[in-house]
Amino acid sequence: MGDVRQGGCLCGAARYEIDVSRHETGNCHCSLCQKHTGSAYLTVTCVPIDDFKWLSKPEGRYASSEHAIRRFCTQCGTPITWESSDYPDIANVGIGTLDDCSGLTISHEIYTKNRLKGVEPVPGARQMKGGYEPL
């Protein structure tokens, strides 16, 4: 492993370890992420599934669509991961749950058609009106 970091929920009940040396980080502006976070968008860092492991897995699990599962802590409510059957080999982790997110930059933004007014695009990040389009 290269750049191994840890993270978890607000209360510490759920913890994980992630190697971010092969990360891609982006903002999702879809309405589901807005509702899930209560914010304008969700920032996730994505790594190969082998670069992520639970140290203590959260009990909360919600199927937000037929293709996606969102894991969260049932004790404090922190949303932690987004898992998709469309991308089973990728771990998508809420960047705000990392203990140290330094050095991770936003490379792309998806579902920008749902971007809230007043939220500016990230300079230099690829902008996609719909879902993720691989490089």
List, for residues 2-15, the tens digit of each pLDDT value: 999 999 999 999 99
The pair of three-digit structure tokens given for residue 22, joined into one six-digit string: 């092969």
Which H/E stretch holds residue 53? strand 52-56
* Cβ 40 vs Cβ 49: under 8 Å: no
How far is the C-alpha of 52 from the C-alpha of 115, rounded, in Å? Answer: 29
Predicted confidence (pLDDT) at residue 134 exceeds the cutoff of 70? no
How does pLDDT run across 49-97, given as a tens digit for each residue? 999 999 999 999 999 999 999 999 999 999 999 999 999 999 999 999 9
Q: Are 11 and 97 in contact (CB under 8 A)?
A: no
Which strand (E) or helix (H) includes residue 18? strand 15-19
- pTM greater than 0.85 (yes/no): yes
Block residue for tokens 């991308």: 87
Q: What is the mean pLDDT of residues 27-52?
A: 95
